[in-house]
């Protein structure tokens, strides 16, 4: 099995362990072989409407395979966006969208703990 298939299987198992039915995982495809990290680098993204989570499974500069535990942590973060969705709030006279807030990060930590308790996925977190 190549790295893409292992990551796909692990992420599908993780979404089942998190008990989220309507989410799908897809590895991020890059047009170039390298990424210009000076302009910013997107590790993962999610679409709240379609439920598609896209994560880059290779390192940005040299395009080496990332560790599965790193991919699973990113997946836990992106899944938390669906569990604790962003909301609009008034802040200093303006309306802002709160995407990352303390309750959101608590949900991310809960998701990572669920993944660590899973029998199959726990082997990726043991060092």
pLDDT of residue 39: 78
* Structure letter (DSSP) for residue 96: E
Q: Which of the two residues, 122 and 61, has the higher pLDDT score?
A: 122
In CATH, the number for domain 3-125 is 3.30.2010.10
Q: Going by C-beta distance under 8 Å and a sequence separation of 6 or more, which residues neighbour residue 60?
A: 34, 35, 37, 41
> Poorest-confidence range of 3-7, 9-13, 97-101?
97-101
Q: What is the pTM of this model?
A: 0.91
pLDDT of residue 36: 75
């Amino acid at each position: 099995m190549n790295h893409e298939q292992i990551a796909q299987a692990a992420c599908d198992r993780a979404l089942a362990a998190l008990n989220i039915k309507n989410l799908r995982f897809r590895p991020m495809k890059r047009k170039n072989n390298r990424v210009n990290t000076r302009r910013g680098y997107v590790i993962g993204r999610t679409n709240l409407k379609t439920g598609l989570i896209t994560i880059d499974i290779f390192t940005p500069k040299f395009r080496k395979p990332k560790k599965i535990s790193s991919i699973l942590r990113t997946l836990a973060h992106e899944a938390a966006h669906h569990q604790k969705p962003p909301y609009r709030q008034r802040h200093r006279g303006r309306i802002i969208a709160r995407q990352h807030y303390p309750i959101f990060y608590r949900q991310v930590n809960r998701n990572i703990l669920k993944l660590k308790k899973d029998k199959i996925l726990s082997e990726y977190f043991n060092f």
